[in-house]
Amino acid sequence: MYWGYTKYLYREVPKRSLEHAQEEVAKAWEGCGSDRMRRFINRALRLMNAYRQGLSGQAALWVVKKQKSQRRESAEAMVALESAVVARKVVNEV
């Protein structure tokens, strides 16, 4: 997430020369403050928790996004997600 954010910052600035581009790289690396870094870490921890609970890929991302306000992945959200996945499999098999 940090790497992606610094690339975004770098790409937003027009570069005039190689020296200017090198200066912008340094600014992009320094552009990520401690508050944003803390949010990146918290999101990574929530994703790891979702993976530990058996979710993968898009399901883990959905649960983390859905439960962002509670700062944890609830069992209710996981049950709802699991039932939706099972229902989708049943419909696809028919």
Q: How confident is the model at residue 22 (pLDDT cuts 50, 70, 90)?
A: confident
Q: How confident is the model at residue 49 (pLDDT cuts 50, 70, 90)?
A: confident
Give the whole-angstrom CA distance, residue 93 versus residue 56: 22
Other CB atoms within a 10 A radius of the CB of residue 33 amount to 9
DSSP assignment of 2-54 equals: HHHHHHHHHHTS---SHHHHHHHHHHHHHTS-HHHHHHHHHHHHHHHHHHHTT
Give the whole-angstrom CA distance, residue 51 versus residue 64: 10
pTM of the model: 0.57
Across 39-43, 50-54, 87-91, least confident range: 87-91
Contacts of 75 (CB under 8 A, 6+ apart): none
